[in-house]
Amino acid sequence: MKIYTKTGDQGETSLIGGARVKKFDPRLEAYGTVDELNSHIGLLRSDLANHSNLSDVDKFLHRVQHQLFKIGSHLACEDETMRANLPSFDASLVAEIETEIDQLDSDLPELKSFILPGGSSLASHCHVCRTVCRRAERRTSVIKDPELEKLGLFLYLNRLSDYFFVLARACNQACKVDDVPWDQQL
């Protein structure tokens, strides 16, 4: 099978179910941004490999990547009959993210000011993941589909961006680098 199909050469592509849409369709913007997030997580995970003290984080992010693929499939499908064949997405996964946030946060110093993205390279990757996740959340919220709301995709992406913020701080701590406080006088 060839990787190129040439079916998108005129600025259109197919959703799951076969509907043809422009490549700027809100569904494509949403699942394309989720895919971008997944790619950034892959980059973050490759850098985590050098930090054995963060191996649990890598395992969690591996699960997140699989969930993002499920989210992408639901975003790429507007055909209700086809949805029954998609991999299931469970909104209870939001609680899993909250548990991870609480666990990471319990070992961090109290946050006393806004912080800038940065510090260690790992933390910087986390901040990129956080901002791409926020964009995915915004792009997803544009799609007016009650089925997506029922699945809890919006909640998952919202909580996941919070996770990346806390993870950035935990990565700075693991790398023995201070968070970068925002100085409003500069």
- What pLDDT is attached to residue 4? 67
The predicted pLDDT at position 9 comes to 60
Does 165 map to a domain?
Answer: yes
What does the alpha-carbon distance between residue 16 and residue 2 come to, in Å, rounded to a whole number? 19
Q: How far apart are the first and last CA of the chain?
A: 56
- Residue 23 has a pLDDT of 67
Q: Let me know if residue 4 belongs to a domain.
A: no
Q: Please give the Cα distance from 4 to 112 (Å, whole number).
A: 51
| Residue 133: both structure tokens together | 């996740």
Contact in structure between 151 and 89 (CB atoms under 8 Å): yes
Domain that holds residue 144: 62-80+91-177
pLDDT at position 47 = 93
Task: Specify if 72 maps to a domain.
Answer: yes
Residue-level pLDDT at 38 = 98
CA angle 141, 90, 161 (to 5 degrees): 50
54 in a structural domain: no
Is there a domain that residue 68 lies in? yes
**53 occurs within a structural domain:** no
Q: Could you tell me if residue 161 is inside a domain? A: yes
Please indicate, yes or no, if residue 21 is contained in any of the structural domains: no
Residue-level pLDDT, tens digit, the chain, 186 residues? 777 666 666 666 666 676 766 667 888 899 999 999 999 999 999 999 888 888 899 999 999 999 999 999 999 888 778 888 888 888 788 999 999 999 999 999 999 899 999 999 999 999 999 999 999 999 999 988 878 887 888 899 999 999 999 999 999 999 999 999 998 888
Number of domains in the chain: 1
